[in-house]
Copies of this chain bind each other. A is one copy, B any other.
């Protein structure tokens, strides 16, 4: 055990991202739930105090122009863009992930054109994607074909309009082959729509490089935007002039303040907007993104893999044989930034872990989830989490 503690210390000392932890408000618990709600960046409260008291309280309506509120959705989109491998002008922030899935799936079916009546939907993904895709299919005359990502290639065909996949599975932590599956969709003449909730901010995505058509993601996990901070929509530049939103709200209009009865969509990412943006949540996200200044996603990925490798090693060494089984793949190419462990008494175990200061979460019925946020989780945290897990399981 002391061997792992020493290794953790050495790894933390050599960690080039270690200093970033100071940018966050943390305590003496081990927070491995940043894949559900990211920690609070230290400078955000003061920034929000200014937004509330000066921008809202003193400037009031003038802030829509003078404080840049009106352009926040596309401006913040451009801050997220480099983290997911997108050139500027393709991402707009706003609404929830579910609402953005609706926009993306409906738009994808319209882009696919006539004669394609199937939407392949990742059957293993976070369920809201399937629920919303089901509604989109119902309203556009398509049908949902549930598939596991492994079966996507064989399910693709001349009837496929679009494929909706999760980059990293929320339950298992499995990383899917975004480049390969996007290419396969394109070969079949279909569009690829990716949900990046569990990958953005944790690993390189490469939206532009891999030719993804549309993508959505949340911002409150590895992007630390705050509880329920607004989600985002990526529409590849080549699709923007024909992107046809099912939610053509007034803020996506070419001339919103003309307030004309006829709808004429704006150009660019703005076309993905809907209603008035929720400024407080949005500007907390914008401030939170400051922690990424000068940080490369490649170095985050390298640390993430080292952390999850080390945690799995500690678990294998510490935990009594047979008490837990990793669900997350061992292969780096198939692993996101979390480790999921199957455990018979998962609910009681997670409760005990949290009581002892190791905060992960549970996915019913039997999965313990541990998310590793490289910006603020270190190797000593990983060792301690595995050690306390072993103690809990030994009881």
Interface set of A (CB-CB < 8 Å, partner B): 25, 27, 31, 33, 36-37, 39-40, 44-45, 48-49, 52-53, 55-58, 60-61, 63-64, 69, 95-99, 102, 106, 123, 126-128, 130-132, 134-135, 139-140, 146, 171, 218, 220, 226-231, 245-251, 253, 257-261, 263, 274-282, 284, 359, 361, 363-364
Residue of B nearest to A124 (CB): B261
Tell whether, in the assembled complex, residue A364 and residue B276 are in contact, meaning their CB atoms are under 8 Å apart. Answer: no
Tell whether, in the assembled complex, residue A359 and residue B60 are in contact, meaning their CB atoms are under 8 Å apart. Answer: yes
Contacts of A231 in B (CB 8 A): 275
Tell whether, in the assembled complex, residue B359 and residue A61 are in contact, meaning their CB atoms are under 8 Å apart. Answer: yes
Given contacts A228-B276, A276-B220, A281-B280, contact A248 B135 (CB under 8 A): yes
A166 → chain B closest CB, angstroms: 13
Given contacts A40-B52, A48-B48, A52-B44, contact A248 B279 (CB under 8 A): no
Contacts of A39 in B (CB 8 A): 57, 60
Tell whether, in the assembled complex, residue B230 and residue A278 are in contact, meaning their CB atoms are under 8 Å apart. Answer: yes
Contacts of A139 in B (CB 8 A): 106, 139-140, 246
Tell whether, in the assembled complex, residue B56 and residue A227 are in contact, meaning their CB atoms are under 8 Å apart. Answer: yes
The CA-CA distance from A246 to B137 in the complex, in Å, is: 11
Contacts of A27 in B (CB 8 A): 58
Contacts of A95 in B (CB 8 A): 95-96, 99, 275
Tell whether, in the assembled complex, residue B36 and residue A250 are in contact, meaning their CB atoms are under 8 Å apart. Answer: no
